Structure 1
Amino acid sequence: MRKVIAAINMTLDGFCDHTAISPDEEIHRHYEELLNKGGVILYGRITYQLMQFWQELIKNPSGEKSMDDFAKSIDSIPKIVFSNTLQNTDWNSATLADQPIKEKVLALKQQAGKDIFVGSRSLIIQLINLNLLDELQLCIHPVIVGNGLPLFENISDRTALKLRETKAFSGGGIIHYYEIAHK
């Protein structure tokens, strides 16, 4: 059975704000390698639209190798977008979900293949509440922003986590790898 793994960046004070963090080459390389190991990544509409930034680097490389290589990895991994408003995607490797999140994730877990990644805050919350998330990879950046979107908002029940490992980056970011205890 495939694992459902959420991987997300956040500030030290628990907010998901891509404008508050500055991923360096080492972090781009980490996520490039992670994406190359995945079978599919799930996005909500907002994060999907933010990630479309990387499409431009496919067409017009930046010249910064780690960013350009990450763009290739994000471009190649299949993406499923959960949205009530999008009518289509304009990314060849992206499709709109054809089922509600619970049914779609349960079906994906039963298929053979590489792990399922989750890259949207809203989907992470939903999957925790549905008890469908197997692993949480939190990359905590050494910055405090004081406000924004908290990652763990609207969680319906206590969720126990087991720290499996950590990975420190030279720029100060640390990834915590947690297994989620299923209820």
Structure 2
Amino acid sequence: MRPLRYSINVTLDGCCDHRAIPADEELHRHAVENLARADALLFGRVTYEMMEAAWRAPARTGMSPDWMEPWMVPFARTIDATKKYVVSSTLDQVDWNAELVRGDLGKAIQELKRQPGTGLFVGGEKLPLALTELGLIDEYEFVVHPRLAGHGPTLFAGLSKHVELKLVSRQEFASGAVAMQYKPRR
């Protein structure tokens, strides 16, 4: 079975609002390395729409937007080219190399995990919460940034039960951020 991995950036006070976390070249390289460990991405509607708006290659010109730094281009190209699955009951269709996932979430994700490949990678807040409740995430990565946001959404709000995790690796970055990978204790 291909593993389902979750990675998210978070501040020291638990905020996971991407606008509260500065991007830098080293962290973008790390994200590209993470994406290379998966052959498909799994998004909920909100994350899919946010990522598509930011990272989809412009169809007409193929040129990067003015705001995009040169060191962001590898991430943009990688996420643009990767297969995507979108869990949504409100969208009628998706494109951007994506297909909709409908029906029973647990069964649908188990089927995706059974397909051949190197792994699935999930992002966002609400979908990972649902997948955690179902015990479907095989690896969690929290990239903790040395910043206090004082606002914003937090991770796993409303989780119905404790999930015991085992630290399997950690990596420090020049910015002071630390990426910590955990696997569930099963």
Identify the residue that residue 81 of structure 2 maps to in structure 1: 76
**Contact 1:7–1:118, Cα closer than 8 Å, also in 2:** yes
Match of 1:130 in 2: 134
For residue 148 of structure 1, what is the aligned residue in structure 2?
A: 152
Say yes or no: does 1:61 pair with 2:89: no
Percent of aligned positions that are identical: 38
Normalization by structure 2: what TM-score?
A: 0.91
Distance in 2, matches of 1:173 and 1:32, equals: 16
1:95-131 Cα offsets, whole Å, 9 max, x none, are 1113332111111121221111111211111111111
Q: Does the CA-based 8 Å contact 1:4-1:117 persist in structure 2?
A: yes
Please point out which of 95, 102, 112 is paired with 2:99. 95
Number of aligned pairs?
181
Q: Report the Cα distance in structure 1 between the residues aligned to 2:149 and 2:127, rounded to whole angstroms.
A: 23
The secondary structure found in structure 2 opposite 1:38 is: coil
* Residue ranges of structure 1 left out of the alignment (5+ in a row): none
Structure 2 unaligned blocks of 5 or more: none
The TM-score, its normalising length taken from structure 1, stands at 0.93
- Matches of 1:172 and 1:57 in 2, distance apart? 33
Q: Is the 8 A contact 1:137 1:175 kept in 2?
A: yes
Correspondence 1:113 to 2:117: yes
- Measure how far apart 1:90 and its partner are: 3.5
User: What is the deviation of 1:56?
Assistant: 4.3
CA contact (8 A) 2:57 2:80 kept: no
After superposition, the Cα gap between the structure-2 partners of 1:162 and 1:122, relative to the gap in structure 1 and judged at 3 Å, is: same
Q: Does 1:46 align with 2:50?
A: no
Structure-2 separation of matches of 1:122 and 1:27: 23
Look up the SS of the partner of 2:56 in the other structure: helix
Structure 2 residue 137 is matched with structure 1 residue 139: no
